[in-house]
């Protein structure tokens, strides 16, 4: 391994150093709550609740003593490791149950899902701990949404009326499309610090979810990088972040979901029970089987700070070998690795950023001001951030994609208000540009060669990661590239996005444009990437443009299982099909 450790670059302070001396986390609850309150988190019905039923009650009865010890440790100054270990044992038990359920589900033939009778009006087991006033409001919102859904004109496409989006399949706005108002599902219903779970509306952004849970010294097991990604979106459309090597993907920490299906029912899907197959098939369905109204998720303890170590590598092979070694050891140089991601600036300049929870911080950096996070990776060998600042380190500059707006120019950055240095603002600017064709008109007037959007995330087996990057830098020539290792947390694959359980993959993210040579059609480079990903046994995320033929698409994303789920939960095709939505862009 060629990684190098060491102190900060001599004579320089990372990221607009925030404190002159060591910061101590005396009480993790107090330290993390202070970080959360800076972002104005929204939570309702948040204190511990006794009782409950179903899976959460089982978790509480088996883990309440361990949960109490974890809370006591947090108040004393933060030894969350014991709580993590206890949580790990519970997770193993749950994963074993998941494997049994998968074996059962795998035995079904394609057409074996029977259409269920009209849904009974019952409360999902994990909603039992939600305070009564909040539960009553939620029930009323569910009933109102079902009514609104039934009143939509038959045959008209159904869309969610949402203020933000993180998809990059831009469609022309049309007044003929009917938006379903889901604003009543945009908040946290309940946080239970004893069982370390939360009940969350499906349209809740991770910004609000993280603020609500950090108050209790807890966070979701995976927090995707951008503030306005919603929990429901990360589950149905997949999500990833630097805890994904430990904790897998966001949907793997879901205990159960309340889903409005395409045929108008509201069902509770869990790893076992009547709708277990929908539970397994919901991830990567992109709202074509239904919409998650509430989700009960697991949480994990945190410490107030994250200690970052940026390790450089001079070759693709050395970097990928290091990922494999860290995945095997779950540590480096005897230090646990709680977070891992990285950046490839080129084939001979790569960095892995290794993060570890900490109760102390000799200094704190702040990348919401003049300094830029991704540039700090090249400049420093270590850094410290609050947990909240770490979670949103990529959002301020949309990774590095704020460059076209001039926000990384120091003079413009000083004038650009901090509250508008956010990924959702940049995405709105891009949408406005696409809608009015401003950039394309400007390029035509300047006789600039056409450019192709290449905005993708792909998962590649770690042993083939160096080969993929070599292809990408040679054929596509875009840089930098984000690296994020992952390994499924459960012992079973998820049918609509099949990755091999236990295997280490690396997510490569690249977002920008590349010039087209004469004779190259739009989509040329995207098709090259799709072919290479398929050849290497990888998978490509579907949040952006895709160019697969229909046969290719269904081979990649399990068309047989998807069609069976569609027949069972949306037999009238009220919702778009997955290929129509993700490839045809309807």
DSSP states along 62-92: HHHHHHHHHHHHHHHT---HHHHHHHHHHHH
Closest CA to 206 of 172, 171, 231, 173: 231
| Residues in CB range of 51: below 8 A, 6 or more apart | 57, 128, 129
Q: Are 281 and 562 in contact (CB under 8 A)?
A: yes
Please list, in sequence order, all residues whose beta carbon lies within 8 angstroms of the beta carbon of residue 454, skipping any fewer than 6 positions away. Answer: 476, 478, 510, 511, 512, 513, 514, 525, 526, 529
Q: Is the pTM of this model over 0.85?
A: no
Residue 242: name the closest of 229, 261, 255, 224 by CA: 224
Both tokens of 7, joined, read 């102190």
pLDDT value at residue 269: 97
Return the closest-CA partner of residue 255 out of 190, 339, 158: 190
Q: Which residue has the higher pLDDT, 554 or 30?
A: 554
Q: Would you state the pLDDT for residue 415?
A: 93
Overall average pLDDT of the 562-576 stretch: 96
From residue 488, how far is each of 71, 324, 483, 557 by CA, in Å? 28, 14, 16, 17
481, β-bridge pairs:
344
Within 198-268, residue ranges assigned H as helices are 206-214, 231-236, 244-247
Residue with tokens 């004109």, as numbered in its chain: 153
Work out the burial of residue 548: count CB atoms within 10 Å of its CB; fewer than 13 is exposed, 13-18 middle, 19 or more buried.
buried
506-540 exposure pattern, b = at least 16 Cβ within 10 A, e = fewer: bbbbbbbebebeeeeeebbbbeebbebbeebebbb
Section 49-78 average pLDDT: 37
Q: Is 113 within 8 Å of 264 (Cβ atoms)?
A: no
Q: CA 131, CA 238: separation in Å to the nearest integer?
A: 30
Domain ranges across the chain:
1-25+304-393, 39-300
- CA–CA gap between residue 202 and residue 291 (Å, rounded): 8
Residues 35 and 210: their CA atoms lie apart, in Å, by 11
The β-bridge relationship of strands 178-181 and 158-161 is parallel
- Residue 352 backbone phi and psi in degrees, to 5: -110, 130
CB within 8 Å of 408: residues ≥ 6 apart: 372, 397, 400, 402
19 has pLDDT over 80: no
Residues 6+ apart with CB under 8 A from 574: 152, 158, 262, 263, 264
The 10s digit of each residue's pLDDT in 152-176 is: 888 777 877 766 655 544 454 454 4
pLDDT tens string 336-356? 999 999 999 999 999 999 999
Architecture of the domain made up of 39-300: 2-Layer Sandwich (3.30)
Q: Give the residue, 91 or 370, on which the prediction is more confident.
A: 370
Tokens 């509480």, residue located = 60
Query: How does strand 290-301 pair with strand 197-201?
Result: antiparallel
Distance between CA atoms of residues 366 and 389, nearest Å: 7
What mean pLDDT, rounded, does the chain reach? 81
Contact 570, 158 (CB under 8 A): no
**Is the Cβ–Cβ distance between 478 and 453 less than 8 Å?**
no
User: Does position 111 have pLDDT exceeding 80, yes or no?
Assistant: no
pLDDT at 64 over 70: no
- pLDDT tens across 174-201, in order? 544 567 899 999 999 999 999 999 999 9
- Cα distance between residue 26 and residue 286, in whole Å: 43
- Quote the Cα angle for 226-256-72, to 5°: 75
Place of tokens 């600017």: 429
User: Does position 249 have pLDDT exceeding 90, yes or no?
Assistant: yes
Q: Which helix (H) or strand (E) holds 555?
A: helix 550-556
pLDDT of residue 46: 38
CB 294 within 8 A of CB 189: yes
Structure tokens at 16: 């607009």
């Amino acid at each position: 391994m060629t990684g190098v450790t060491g102190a900060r670059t001599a004579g320089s302070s990372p990221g607009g150093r925030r404190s002159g001396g060591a910061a101590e986390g005396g009480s993790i609850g107090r330290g993390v709550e202070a970080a959360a309150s800076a972002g104005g988190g929204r939570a309702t019905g948040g204190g511990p609740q006794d009782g409950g039923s179903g899976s959460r009650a089982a978790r509480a009865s088996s883990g309440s003593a361990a949960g109490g010890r974890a809370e006591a440790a947090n108040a004393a100054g933060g030894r969350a490791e014991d709580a993590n270990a206890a949580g790990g044992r519970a997770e193993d038990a749950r994963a074993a149950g998941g494997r049994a359920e998968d074996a059962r589900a795998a035995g079904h033939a394609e057409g074996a899902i029977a259409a269920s009778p009209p849904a009974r009006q019952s409360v999902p087991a994990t909603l039992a701990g939600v305070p009564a006033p909040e539960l009553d409001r939620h029930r009323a919102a569910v009933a109102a949404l079902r009514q609104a859904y039934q009143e939509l004109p038959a045959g008209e496409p159904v869309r969610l009326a949402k203020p933000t989006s993180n998809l990059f399949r831009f469609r022309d706005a049309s007044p003929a499309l009917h938006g379903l108002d889901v604003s009543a599902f945009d908040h946290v219903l309940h946080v239970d610090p004893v069982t370390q779970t939360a009940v969350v509306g499906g349209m809740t952004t991770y910004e609000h979810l993280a603020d609500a849970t950090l108050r209790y010294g807890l966070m979701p097991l995976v927090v995707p990088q951008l503030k306005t990604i919603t929990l429901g979106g990360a589950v149905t459309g997949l999500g990833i972040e630097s805890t994904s090597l430990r904790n897998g993907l966001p949907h793997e920490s879901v205990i159960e979901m309340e889903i409005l299906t395409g045929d108008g029912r509201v069902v509770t899907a869990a790893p076992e029970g009547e709708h277990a197959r929908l539970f397994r098939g919901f991830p990567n369905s992109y709202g074509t089987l239904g919409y998650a109204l509430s989700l009960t998720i697991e949480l994990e303890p945190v410490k107030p700070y994250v200690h970052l170590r940026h390790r450089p590598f001079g070759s693709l092979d050395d970097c990928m070998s290091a990922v494999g070694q860290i995945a095997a050891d779950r540590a480096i140089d005897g230090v646990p690795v709680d977070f891992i991601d990285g950046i490839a600036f080129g084939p001979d300049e790569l960095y892995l950023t290794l993060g570890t929870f900490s109760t102390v911080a000799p200094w704190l950096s702040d990348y919401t001001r003049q300094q830029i996070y991704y540039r700090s990776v090249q400049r420093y060998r270590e850094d410290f951030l609050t947990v909240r600042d770490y979670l949103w380190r990529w959002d301020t500059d949309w990774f590095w994609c704020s460059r076209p707006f001039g926000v990384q120019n120091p003079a413009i950055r000083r004038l650009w208000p901090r509250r508008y240095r956010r990924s959702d603002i940049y995405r709105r600017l891009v949408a406005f540009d696409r809608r009015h064709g401003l950039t394309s008109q400007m390029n035509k007037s300047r006789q600039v060669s056409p450019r192709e959007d290449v905005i993708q995330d792909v998962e590649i087996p770690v042993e083939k990661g160096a080969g993929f990057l070599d292809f990408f830098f040679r054929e596509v020539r875009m840089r930098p590239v984000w690296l994020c290792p992952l390994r499924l947390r459960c012992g079973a694959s998820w049918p609509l996005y099949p990755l091999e359980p236990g295997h280490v993959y690396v997510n490569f993210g690249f977002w920008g444009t590349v010039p087209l040579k004469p004779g190259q059609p739009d989509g040329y480079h995207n098709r090259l990437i799709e072919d290479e990903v398929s050849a290497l046994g990888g998978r490509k995320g579907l949040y952006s443009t895709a160019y697969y033929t229909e046969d290719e698409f269904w081979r990649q994303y399990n068309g047989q299982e998807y069609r069976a789920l569609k027949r069972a939960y949306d037999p009238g095709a009220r919702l778009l099909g997955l290929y129509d939505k993700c490839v045809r862009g309807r």
